[in-house]
Structure 1
Amino acid sequence: MTEERVRDGSVAGGIPERLIDAAVTLMATEGPSAIKARTVAAAAGMSTMVVYNYFGGVPELLNAVVDHGFDQIGDAFAKLDVTDDPIADLFAMALTTLAYARANPHLYDAMFGLSTRATYRPTDKGVRLAGHSPAFNAAYAHVTGACTRLAGRGPMSITDPIAVAGALWSFVHGYVTLELANHFTEFEDPVRQVLLPMGVTFCTGLGAEREAALRSHEHALGRVPLPAA
């Protein structure tokens, strides 16, 4: 079965989606080690062979689960208003990503191939690198699009918006990874004390005026509610 058919909710009454939902739930409650063909099938009320019939194996099922996560982040990005302030828009996406990671730490780890919780690694046979996922690329397009808009803004000097998007993506996910691993316990409010200043510094390094960048970041904080860390 092709990936497109697996992700098509019309296939066989949505059996693939039921399996994906069961895997996501197991990952959230028991961690990636619970993702086995028999456990996922049992949670979905199906036979183990259904997993192999529809996905080929557990690594392919995990690919679908990871795609599910990127689809959700992409949907969340799409729901954010596109404003005339791309700095605020980008920080709103950063906060949206953080909110998703806080609510789905095991899935986030699997999506980004982290070792703290994930069992199946991106280098394992059958587990696709995130950059080859259409779902990832669709979500990431919101980031590159905002960076492209940023390139034409005021005093900012940006000749390669794609490189800026990569740098931004790197520092945001670096922060998220450290926060999920409880590395900011010394801060009362690490988002305001660490992530926001880092974002402002990033933008001023590109030529933005510091006070304007700070206002944009503060505005974004009011747009995205964050669940407790």
Structure 2
Amino acid sequence: MARTKDPAVRSLLITRAAHMLRVREPITLRSLVEGTGVSTMAVYTYFGSMDGLWRAVRQEGFRRLATRLDTVGKTRDPVRDLAALGACYISHALTEPDLYRVMFDDGFELEDPEQADRALHHLVETVQRARSAERFRADVNPLTTAMQSWAIGHGLASLVACGPLPRDTLANGIPMLTALYVSYGDDPVRCRRSVTRGWRAG
């Protein structure tokens, strides 16, 4: 009879591997399981190989990000919601710095690329709502705008979570997003108000 896999063991190995990678510890089967109470065989049991482990680590980062973005509620103000998604993205990076570092390492394949697209879909859908509400012009491309919003959040998150800048750098997200959304047709005063509310909520 096959033994039931313990999700806690899988999560433990993913978390440890991501941390070791971020702090640049040498990673071998032995060093990975050292002090965890599980054997090296667990890597093969849960992931099939070390490559399988790294795919799972990267996937887990995107899975947790999408789960966090799922918690951002929709309001009648789509521009506020866009800013809230951006702030939530940064919050994820700061609370999950190990997994965040691995998410964008394309040296590791993803287990499920479509699941990873869930995070971007949140932004695309919200841009579409802003366009429908006539906050953005009708010719605005939802995917392009979503990617530009993501780039702002990613840049700030990387500079603070993985880089040299202090947390108060994150306040720059408000004028940066405001400038982006005004360029797509939103009223400057209304936009600033919406972005500020969303940024603080996220």
Partner Cα distance (2:55, 2:131) in 1: 34
> Alignment partner of 2:157: what SS?
helix
TM-score (norm 2): 0.84
Partner Cα distance (1:32, 1:204) in 2: 42
Within-5 A mapping of 1:9-158? 12-15=3-6, 17-25=8-16, 27-28=18-19, 31=23, 33=25, 35-113=27-105, 122-123=106-107, 127-128=108-109, 133-157=113-137, 158=139
Deviations along 1:96-119, whole A, 9 cap, x unmatched?
111111122222111112xxxxxx
Of 158, 161, 169, which residue of structure 2 is paired with 1:190? 169
Of 123, 146, 154, which residue of structure 2 is paired with 1:173? 154
Residues 28 and 104 in structure 1, CA contact (< 8 A), matched pair in contact too? no
Root-mean-square deviation (CA), in Å?
A: 2.6
Task: Confirm or deny that 1:199 pairs with 2:171.
Answer: no
Residues 68 and 92 in structure 2, CA contact (< 8 A), matched pair in contact too? no
Where has structure 1 moved over 4 Å in runs of 4 or more? none
> Alignment partner of 2:6: what SS?
helix
> Alignment partner of 1:80: what SS?
coil
Q: CA deviation at 1:35?
A: 4.5
Of 144, 147, 150, which residue of structure 2 is paired with 1:163? 144
TM-score (norm 1): 0.75
Task: Confirm or deny that 1:213 pairs with 2:191.
Answer: yes
Partner Cα distance (1:155, 1:146) in 2: 11
State the AA in 2 paired with 1:53: T
Partner Cα distance (1:198, 1:184) in 2: 17
Aligned to 1:4: none
Residues 97 and 162 in structure 2, CA contact (< 8 A), matched pair in contact too? no
In structure 2, relative to structure 1, the CA distance for the partners of 1:92 and 1:35 (3 Å cut) is farther
Partner Cα distance (2:184, 2:131) in 1: 9
Q: CA deviation at 1:94?
A: 0.9
Aligned to 1:118: none
Partner Cα distance (2:129, 2:118) in 1: 17
Residues 18 and 102 in structure 2, CA contact (< 8 A), matched pair in contact too? no
State the AA in 2 paired with 1:141: H
Deviations along 1:77-104, whole A, 9 cap, x unmatched?
1111111211111111111111111122
- The gaps in structure 2 that reach 5 residues or longer are none
> Alignment partner of 1:107: what SS?
helix
> Alignment partner of 1:168: what SS?
helix
